[in-house]
Amino acid sequence: MASVTAEPIDTTIEVPGKRTPLVTGAHDYGTVTDAVCRLAECKAPKAWYLALGVSACLMGMLFGLIGYLIITGVGVWGNRSPVFWGWPIVNFVFWVGIGHAGTLISAILFLFRQDWRTGINRAAEAMTIFAVVCAGVFPGIHIGRVWLAYWLFPIPNQMAMWPNFRSPLLWDVFAVSTYATVSLLFWYMGMIPDLATLRDRATGKIQQFAYGLFSLGWNGSSRHWHRYERAYLLLAALAAPLVLSVHTIVSFDFAVSQLPGWHTTIFPPYFVAGAVFSGFAMVLTLMIPARKICGIEDLLTDRHLENMTKVIIATGTMVGYAYAMEFFIAWYGGNRYETFAFINRAFGPYAWAYWIMVSCNVISPQLFWIKKIRTTPWMIFVVCVFVNIGMWFERFVITVTSLSRDFLPSSWGYFKPTIVDVLMLIGSFGLFMTLFLLFCKFLPMVAMAEVKSVMASPHDHGDDQPDIPDSHGQYQSENSDTE
Amino acid sequence: MATTIEHPEKTIAEPQLLGFLAEFDNPHALIDASKKVRDAGYQKWDTHTPFPLHGIDNAMGIKWTILPWIVACCGLMGGTIAIGMQWYMNAYDYPFLISGKPLFSIPACIPIVFELSVLLAAFGAFFGMLGLNQLPKLYNPLFKSEAFRRATNDRFFISMDAKDAKFSEIDTGEFLKSLNPTNVEEFWSDVESPKLPRNLKLALSIVGVLMIMPPALVAYKRSTTTNTPRVHIVPDMDFQPSLKAQNTTDVFSDGREIRPNIKGTIPRGQFKDDNIPFYYGLKYLPEDQDVVTIAVQDEKKADAKPAEDKKAAAEKAPATKPAAADPAAAAAAAAKKLDELPWVTEFPMPVTAKMMARGKERYRIYCSACHGLGGEGDGLVTLRAMDLQQGTWVKPASYHTDNVRKLPVGRLYHTITNGVRKMPAYGPQIPPEDRWSIVLYLKALQKSHQIDANTISEEEKRKLRDTK
């Protein structure tokens, strides 16, 4: 039987010449399945019911407010001259950004053969889907007359008109819907074998039917696996540039306009770095409590968390660099409006938001240089919450400061959100959490098949060699090039 | 099998051997066994593992899949559709001209081309994989095996299909046992053909009927004529409660929908009419309000006409002499009409030293070029024109003639505003306050030329002598 070390080990210590196992504890294939399926098969812990109750209430509030907004009109928001892009757009960009970590973990880390992704990719992808759902809500209702949302799509209608394909807002429609679709396919395809596992273990009629339907009759055939892996690789290769393109296109909404503070070429890479940054923070914010509640610490080890904090340091520093570079270019570019926009950001009426953003996004992730903080889950959690707050404020600062102080002092104003704005943001978290909690309960939260394929067990690669690391600390696998 | 002639329906019901299932408990054993099965020459067989086993492809002799080509074709198709769609929609069928940008240019197309290529390629990867794997296939006889349930958990299986040319019930079973599996079992076809559960049938038919209803209703509505308006689910702004002119209403006590002016408000464009002395230099006589209004209108017309007439006259002048006389007569008539108007004789605001200083400054800026610093009609422009002896130049009148001195201030103001003879209208350039200031300074100039030296004090005289 495949099994690994029985005694608990500290996965955050690097042992030269030996690869740290990705699964700790006395696990073999069967116990991994048991651990992951337990939540779907047993009664959920009290904490889950409590969390679901709270988030479902918040979600209900969001739907109520959407109804109110549709009946009354978008005037219930604080968007008005000169700030017509207020919280709804801030929330949209924020949520789209959150989604990026999921696809990044599953696609880019997959292409880079980062095996540690297997423990977190499923939940991260789920998070992507739910974040995109939350993001989609805002532009959807922002158009005011939601029943005419189909005008966004190139559908022949009675007015014999077509949308303008040179508008970044239309690119957004395509980018976000493609992103949502591809992420959903990627997530669902990765889940098919695990759904089959749940189907084969299900005892209730409803579970058997539902899991049976969605696992599409998967039977683990190696011929199927062969095509499946190829398809997964291709989807990952497609999703990787897609994830970069989506936030690039979202940033075009801003960068293609002429407004000082928006009209900059740094926006696409800067938005993407920020998105990955906030996305990883959100993954950690969710996974630290979730792995505790679901009891999957063996599959999602401290080492996984530590690796993610390293990504946060990298992207957080990129974001800090972008802030500095915006200032530098504003000065070096010699454009007075641009210079003013940035001085105004830091010292104008929204200085409070700017400095919240800087302290949360630039300073707080630097704490991860300290190993103690990097390896203590509750400390990671706290820092990640700050990062999420900071990234929301980043979008707020970009959107509101530029609009409220543009070229003409006669068109200046100060944006104030309404209570509906605030409650909708909170409600969107309710929607997000409800979906995530339902996912934790009813779907395989960890990609079982993938975890099993990277378990440090004898013959895991199916080769004839016993598992002895070579001089580079790598396990030999003669067939890995023929996979 | 021989008894099937009498009961043919029973043969169908008889279960058939579909194949064997060999179970292994670790992937290493499975790969070893697979190599042997491959080498034994079997074609229709498969292995089942809970995770993708690397190395099994070689061991089983699985060929490369064509999936990448499917994906590449789908991606190219997406890109082509995207570029064709954008050209057709924005450049051909409904040309969008925005800020003079080209109707069709590749850079602006790239985001959509990229997104649609990725979207279709992803569909190709996902549905291509399902298609090549012949999924979804919810029914599979293997699923009836209790042991096979662990194929998605922690066990490894080889399945041998009875359709294989090399398959034989006894030999194949023996062969499988020689591979050291933990267990070998047979799997059989069903006795009864699988049937959909009653509840599912019912549910599916209800869903089907519900799905047909909306398109059926739409089709019905579109194909029938009706006198009544369509159903307005969302009325947008089709029906508005706003009041319209010339209608009656119960909302207001006077029953009119059109509302009279509210007391104390000034209708748009009538602000000047409330301060006629200041803006027009005319006396405001309540009993003659209409006369004044007409006068103001006449003045505007009179102002507009000479300009046209002069233009016409300049063209006709060499051809017909009487034509030249006509505008002169018209101008005289207009001047006579102006003389009759009730011009103000007092300034319509308090006169101050500040106003005088302002008037002097403005006079020197706007008027002195032609009229001269002293108002004698000897400005630099006039002198130059006289020097060149240009026939079209009319020398400005001196202020110090009796005629001009007698003009009321309102008339002077009017002249500055609307011009006279060669002098253009300065109303558009000089605000009303400044025009009045200039009139004031002009009056001072006139007075300075007519004063009796005896009325001036000695001190003033000394001052004047010292000034150059």
Indicate the pLDDT class of residue A317, thresholds 50, 70 and 90: very high
Mean pLDDT of B185-194: 75
Q: Does residue B81 have a pLDDT over 70?
A: yes
A11 vs B342, which has greater pLDDT?
A: B342
Q: Does residue A157 have a pLDDT over 80?
A: no
Q: What is the pTM assigned to this prediction?
A: 0.72
Which residue of chain B is at minimal alpha-carbon distance from A236?
A: B122
What average pLDDT is seen over chain B? 81
> Tokens for B430?
């000089």
Per-residue pLDDT tens for A262-293? 998 999 999 989 988 998 999 999 889 888 88
Distance (Å) from the alpha carbon of B143 to chain A's nearest alpha carbon: 8
Which residue of chain B is at minimal alpha-carbon distance from A214?
A: B136
Per-residue pLDDT tens for B372-403? 888 888 889 888 888 887 777 888 888 888 88
Per-residue pLDDT tens for A342-363? 999 999 999 999 999 999 999 9
- Is residue B233 domain-resident? no
Strands (E), A328-430: none
Indicate the pLDDT class of residue A483, thresholds 50, 70 and 90: very low
Of A239, A245, A479, which is closest to B114 when you measure between CB atoms?
A245
Q: Does residue A158 have a pLDDT over 80?
A: no
Beta bridge partners of B282: B343
Indicate the pLDDT class of residue A462, thresholds 50, 70 and 90: very low
Q: What is the pLDDT of residue B339?
A: 77
Q: Does residue A459 have a pLDDT over 60?
A: no
**Single residue among B191, B208, B231 that ends a domain in this structure:** B191
Q: What is the pLDDT of residue B13?
A: 62
B133 vs B231, which has greater pLDDT?
A: B133
Of B52, B93, B149, which is closest to A225 when you measure between CB atoms?
B52
- Is residue B237 domain-resident? no
For an interface test with B, the pick among A238, A251, A450, A457 (most B C-beta atoms closer than 10 Å) comes out as A238
Q: Does residue B21 have a pLDDT over 60?
A: yes
Indicate the pLDDT class of residue B57, thresholds 50, 70 and 90: confident
**Which of A73-87, A107-121, B207-221, B343-357 has the least mean pLDDT?**
A107-121
Q: Does residue B4 have a pLDDT over 50?
A: no
Distance (Å) from the alpha carbon of B232 to chain A's nearest alpha carbon: 12
Mean pLDDT of B173-188: 82
- Alpha helices per DSSP H over B133-197: 169-177
Report whether B195 contacts B38 (CB < 8 A): no
Which residue of chain A is at minimal alpha-carbon distance from B139?
A: A217
Residues of chain B neighbouring A200 (CB-CB closer than 8 A): 149-153
Mean pLDDT of B45-50: 88
User: Distance of CA A167 to CAs A164, A172, B390, Å?
Assistant: 6, 9, 61
CA atoms B230, B233, B237, B239: torsion sign: positive
Residues of chain A neighbouring B194 (CB-CB closer than 8 A): none
Q: What is the rounded CA–CA span in Å between residue A151 and residue A155?
A: 7
Residues of chain A neighbouring B197 (CB-CB closer than 8 A): none
Which residue of chain B is at minimal alpha-carbon distance from A217?
A: B138
Indicate the pLDDT class of residue B312, thresholds 50, 70 and 90: very low
Q: What is the pLDDT of residue B279?
A: 85
Indicate the pLDDT class of residue B125, thresholds 50, 70 and 90: very high
- Is residue B370 domain-resident? yes
A205-230 burial code (b ≥16 CB/10 A, e <16): eebeebbbebbbbbbbbbbbbbbbbb
Which residue of chain A is at minimal alpha-carbon distance from B87?
A: A165
So where are chain A's domains? 29-149+184-454
Domain that holds residue B65: 14-191
Q: What is the rounded CA–CA span in Å between residue B234 and residue B237?
A: 9
Q: What is the pLDDT of residue B294?
A: 56
Q: Does residue A474 have a pLDDT over 50?
A: no
**Which of A100-114, A207-221, B285-299, B305-319 has the least mean pLDDT?**
B305-319
Q: What is the pLDDT of residue A482?
A: 38
> Tokens for A17?
């010449």
Q: Does residue A458 have a pLDDT over 60?
A: no
Mean pLDDT of A55-68: 95
**Single residue among B143, B171, B191 that ends a domain in this structure:** B191
Query: CATH number for the domain including B440?
Result: 1.10.760.10
CB contact under 8 A, A196 and B26: no
What is the three-class DSSP state of A452? helix
Indicate the pLDDT class of residue A85, thresholds 50, 70 and 90: confident
Q: What is the pLDDT of residue B322?
A: 44
Q: What is the pLDDT of residue A4?
A: 46
Mean pLDDT of B312-335: 55
CB contact under 8 A, B98 and A166: yes
Indicate the pLDDT class of residue B289, thresholds 50, 70 and 90: low
The pair phi, psi for residue A157, each rounded to 5°, is: -130, 180
**Which of A345-354, B45-54, B169-178 has the least mean pLDDT?**
B169-178
State the complex-level ipTM: 0.88
The DSSP letter of residue B257 is: S
CB contact under 8 A, B93 and A162: yes
Q: What is the pLDDT of residue A475?
A: 43
Q: What is the rounded CA–CA span in Å between residue B106 and residue A168?
A: 15
- Alpha helices per DSSP H over A295-335: 302-332
Which residue of chain B is at minimal alpha-carbon distance from A71?
A: B234
Residues of chain B neighbouring A155 (CB-CB closer than 8 A): none
CB contact under 8 A, B122 and A217: no
> Tokens for A134?
């939350």
**A479 touching B, CB under 8 A?**
yes
Mean pLDDT of B331-335: 72
Q: What is the pLDDT of residue A465?
A: 43
Asked if the peptide bond before residue B136 counts as cis, ω within 30 degrees of 0, the response is yes
Q: What is the pLDDT of residue A472?
A: 46
**A162 touching B, CB under 8 A?**
yes
Give me the percent of chain A exceeding a pLDDT of 90. Answer: 42
Q: What is the pLDDT of residue B332?
A: 74
Q: What is the pLDDT of residue B30?
A: 87
Indicate the pLDDT class of residue B3, thresholds 50, 70 and 90: very low
Per-residue pLDDT tens for A184-210? 999 999 999 999 999 888 888 888 889
Report whether A22 contacts A116 (CB < 8 A): yes
B11 vs B411, which has greater pLDDT?
A: B411
Indicate the pLDDT class of residue B208, thresholds 50, 70 and 90: very high
Residues of chain B neighbouring A217 (CB-CB closer than 8 A): 135-140
Report whether B156 contacts B23 (CB < 8 A): yes
Mean pLDDT of B1-17: 57
Q: Does residue A3 have a pLDDT over 50?
A: no
B48 vs B337, which has greater pLDDT?
A: B48
Q: What is the pLDDT of residue B326?
A: 60
A-B Cβ pairs (cutoff 8 Å, strict) = 231
Of B93, B111, B150, which is closest to A171 when you measure between CB atoms?
B111
CB contact under 8 A, A165 and B128: no
CB contact under 8 A, B132 and A227: yes
Q: What is the rounded CA–CA span in Å between residue A56 and residue A45?
A: 17
Q: Which of A391-395, B14-18, B60-64 has the highest mean pLDDT?
A: A391-395
Of A29, A163, A459, which is closest to B28 when you measure between CB atoms?
A459
Give me the percent of chain B exceeding a pLDDT of 70. Answer: 86
Residues of chain A neighbouring B135 (CB-CB closer than 8 A): 216-218, 224
Q: What is the pLDDT of residue A116?
A: 82
What is the three-class DSSP state of A390? helix
Residues of chain B neighbouring A448 (CB-CB closer than 8 A): 50-51
Per-residue pLDDT tens for B94-120? 888 888 888 898 988 999 999 999 999
Mean pLDDT of A49-72: 93
Of A174, A220, A241, which is closest to B151 when you measure between CB atoms?
A220
Beta bridge partners of B420: B423
Burial class (CB in 10 A: 0-12, 13-18, 19+), B224: exposed
**Which of A416-430, B43-57, B201-215 has the least mean pLDDT?**
B43-57
User: What is the number of other CB atoms lying within 10 angstroms of the CB of residue A269?
Assistant: 15
Query: How many structural domains is chain B composed of?
Result: 2
Question: Which amino acid is present at B447?
Answer: K
**A122 touching B, CB under 8 A?**
no
Residues of chain B neighbouring A241 (CB-CB closer than 8 A): 114, 118
CB contact under 8 A, A461 and B54: yes
- Is residue B122 domain-resident? yes
